[in-house]
Structure 1
Amino acid sequence: MAPFGTDRPQKEETVSDDEALRRMYRVTSDYDRPFKQKVQELLDLGREYLGVQAGFLTEISDGTQLIVEASGDHELLQPGNSCPLSKAYCRKTIDQEDALTVQHAALEGWEDDAAYEEFGLESYIGAKVIVEGEVYGTFCFAGDEPREEPFTEQEETFVELMAEWVSYELFQKRATERIEQQRDQLEEFASVVSHDLRNPLGVVQGYLNLAEQTGNPEHFDRCRNALERMGVLIDDLLMLAREGQSIGETESIELAKLVRDCWEFVTAEEATLKIDADIVLKGDQSRVQQLFENLLRNAVEHGGRDVTIRIGVLESGSGIYVEDDGPGIPEEQRDQIFTDGYSTGEKGSGFGLTIVRACHRTLHTL
């Protein structure tokens, strides 16, 4: 049996049912107090009201019980402690519709139970915490001494109300986190859309001007190709926004042909592209095209109008490289180049290399 210290509320010193409910309401309705602090105050209040030595909030996952918050000095019931669920009183709590109560464990069939052997608790009351229809854990109170009287209906209701409040707060916390994540994803999506559509738009504008000046129908074909590319980008980015980081079907891709196709969508009249890689890749066609379009555009924007870009195979044969003869990236800035929104240029969006990194995992050499 795990020993307790002297911090043991006595039943005769506990508050009345009405006073306990009033104090619980004051705690839970105070929106300025953090969740962690309110849980701690509820556990302290519960110990005082119920006349027991320990109060604790658990999280149950993968057959393990973890103590999240606790009140009292039981050495095994402290925040961060964990045990197999098979050795916890709470394993029976989560199977109950209402609160589980134990007045005197040794007389109620618990003497050979693994939980009784592990914790030595004689009295116990706990209710399960449900978040989004699934068991999160339990909200419990326990003591190493039996109770003279069974837990009353009011006491059970008190514990169930606190467990329901915890359930609601955890649901709100998850919902808030999801909203913030969705907002961040929307902002990133908008940035990627504006970044990757910018170059095909520039191609359309450039060839429309040439078409007006020369009347050459080939320029209109270039515009159509750029508009089709924009349509593909929009469809793929919408799919990415809906499905997270999932990718489409992979296929064999001729590197040289793909890079030449990407070059058509880069506004670089004075730049030079050299391809020294006659290899076949395997990946998501659209993602790989996004990757190289961003690398080529990045080289032109930061390497100068007459930059030379070379694409080849590493000497080890384990990968490919993209290099240019521009000024390069200052050494002190290299650790930041993949940070969303970071750019070494005054007009850069800072998303080009972020998109490259996201697309890179879809790429494999055959």
Structure 2
Amino acid sequence: MDSASYRERLYDVFANPEADPDAKIRSALGLGADYLQLPIGFVTQIHNDTQEIVYATGEHPLIQPGETCPLDEAYCRRTFQIDSALAIQDSHVSDEISEKAVEAFDLGTYIGAKITVGDEPYGTVCFADTEQRGSAFTEAETYFVELFAELIGQAIERHTREHELEESRAQLRKRNQLIGVLNRVLRHNLRNEMSVIVGFAMELQKRLDGREADFADRIVRSSTELLDLAETAQTLEATLNAPAEPQEEDVVPYVVRVARELDNEYPAVSVHVRTPEAAYARSDARLETALRELVENAVIHQPSPRTVELGVTETEEAVTIRVEDDGPGIPQQERQVLLTGEETPLEHGSGLGLWLVHWIVQSLDGTIRVDEAVAGACVEIRLRK
């Protein structure tokens, strides 16, 4: 097999997606030893002027994984200092190898190259024999070792980054679990305690009059808003954690269910629904959550809507769902949350709910439009077919 074929096999070894870095390097050392006809192959890591053997092939007792020595007693000392490969036909007569190294390892032939991980020197990859070589190393052999060093550096860097990424993911998972536990505990306690506050405040409303009754009313309203915020946060958490599986499906049942719930919960509000029998678009169950947030924003957070209309229209390219009311409209600050997802002070929790609407529609690859031509509030969700 010629030198080009060995280089191709070397590329194949490091390109194997099924093998881990250790297996790749060990396999490549065997390939290199076979190509160079040198029985000893090893990879070192050099730190604080100490050489450690990390991988090795061959029977030399001092060149085995875990063996260490001072760098000035190593054949790799000069290799670690230069940027090209160091090829020594007879180390006993070479000025590049120290007498200490020859006395310690007694290698007759040596070739090695520096490994760089990122921008930092890591160590060396080397091949050797206790006997001297009968001929000088060829240019192709030198290039093979330099290529080997480059591929090892890339493999180690990739493995290091993947390991760091996995550690970061593990830390993030732990942090998210902790946040989730704290969130549930705080939300549970908030609901319980605020429900108690609402109950006592309502009782005070009955027993007090005048300015004192107004104070009690304010307590009821503020406590109820906090309870609404806690429920919105719970909905937000559940929606964000739900798997996203948009597919082409009929969106009309979502609209009808939301309208029916609105009609049952708020009998004073006139609810009108205009939809075709069916309208298919890329969607999933999260759309119903988005529509519910929009109609609740119209009814709960606005002072005087008496009519809410939900409509569905379609073209060849898309389905548009329209939620319209006769209230005062959406404040500019909250409109920005709905359209762009920008953070804003969350008055009455409505900003949080509108942010959830924006996130859901965006994840469905849809768009949101606020029709400013109507007197009240009108939001259109456009979903692709």
User: TM-score normalised to the size of structure 2?
Assistant: 0.49
Q: Distance in 1 between matches of 2:114 and 2:182?
A: 49
Does residue 126 (structure 1) correspond to residue 134 (structure 2)? The answer is: no
1:37–1:194 Cα change, 3 Å? closer
Query: Following the alignment from structure 2 to structure 1, what is the Cα–Cα distance between the partners of residues 83 and 185?
Result: 60
Asked if the contact 2:84/2:113 (under 8 Å) is kept, the reply is yes
Instruction: Find the aligned partners of 1:28 and 1:156 in 2 and give their Cα distance.
Output: 19
Residue 111 of structure 1: CA displacement? 7.0
Match of 2:159 in 1: 173
Match in the other structure for 1:160: 146
Return the match for 2:137 from 124, 148, 151: 151
Deviation at 1:99, TM superposition (A): 1.1
Name the counterpart of 1:30: 16
Match of 2:125 in 1: 139
Tell me which residue corresponds to 1:331.
none
1:112, distance to aligned residue in structure 2 (A): 5.2
Partner of 1:68: 54
Distance in structure 2 (CA, Å) of the matches to 1:214 and 1:26 = 75
Residue 7 of structure 2: aligned partner: 21
Query: 1:111 and 1:200, CA in 2 relative to 1: closer, same or farther beyond 3 A?
Result: closer
Distance 1:110 1:92 in 2: 6
Question: Structure 2 vs 1, CA of residues 142 and 210 (structure 1 numbering), >3 Å: closer, same or farther?
Answer: same
Residue 50 (structure 1) aligned with residue 24 (structure 2): no
Query: Aligned-pair distance for 1:107?
Result: 1.8
> In 2, Cα distance between the equivalents of 1:141 and 1:153?
15
SS in 2 for 1:94: helix
CA distance in 2, matches of 1:26, 1:213: 72
1:153 is displaced (CA, Å) by 1.7
Q: How many residues are matched?
A: 212
The answer as to whether partners of 1:64 and 1:83 remain within 8 angstroms in 2 is yes
User: Match for residue 39 of structure 1?
Assistant: 25
Amino acid at match of 1:26: D
Contact preservation (8 Å) 1:105, 1:111? yes
1:96 pairs with 75, 79, 82, which one? 82
Aligned-pair CA distance for 1:206: 2.9
Equivalence map 1:198-347=2 (5 Å): 198-215=184-201
After TM superposition, the score normalised by the length of structure 1 is 0.52
Post-superposition offset of 1:189: 0.9
Structure 2: distance between partners of 1:133 and 1:32: 27
Match of residue 177 from structure 2: 191
Q: Which residue of 1 aligns with 2:273?
A: none
CA–CA distance in structure 1, aligned partners of residues 185 and 38 of structure 2? 69
Q: 1:205 to 1:75 in 2, by over 3 A?
A: same
Q: 1:179-203: CA deviations, max 9, x gaps? A: 2111111111111112223333334
1:108 matched residue in structure 2? 94
Is the contact between residue 110 and residue 116 of structure 1 (CA under 8 Å) also seen in structure 2?
no
Cα distance, 1:55 vs structure 2: 0.7
CA distance in 1, matches of 2:194, 2:173: 31
CA RMSD of aligned residues (A): 2.9
Give distance in 1, aligned partners of 2:26 and 2:97.
30
Structure 2 match to 1:247: none
Q: Secondary structure at the residue paired with 1:150?
A: coil
- SS of the residue corresponding to residue 26 of structure 2 reads helix
Q: Which string of whole-angstrom CA distances, capped at 9 and with x for unpartnered residues, describes residues 300-356 of structure 1?
A: xxxxxxxxxxxxxxxxxxxxxxxxxxxxxxxxxxxxxxxxxxxxxxxxxxxxxxxxx
Secondary structure class of the residue paired with 2:104: helix
Please say which structure displays the higher CA radius of gyration. 2
Note the alpha carbon deviations across 1:55-104, whole angstroms, 9 max, x for none: 11112223322212212221211222221222111121111111122222
Q: Which runs of 5+ in 2 are unaligned?
A: 205-214, 231-385
Distance in 2 separating the partners of 1:112 and 1:34: 36
- With over 3 angstroms needed to count, the CA separation of the structure-2 counterparts of 1:201 and 1:27, relative to structure 1, is closer
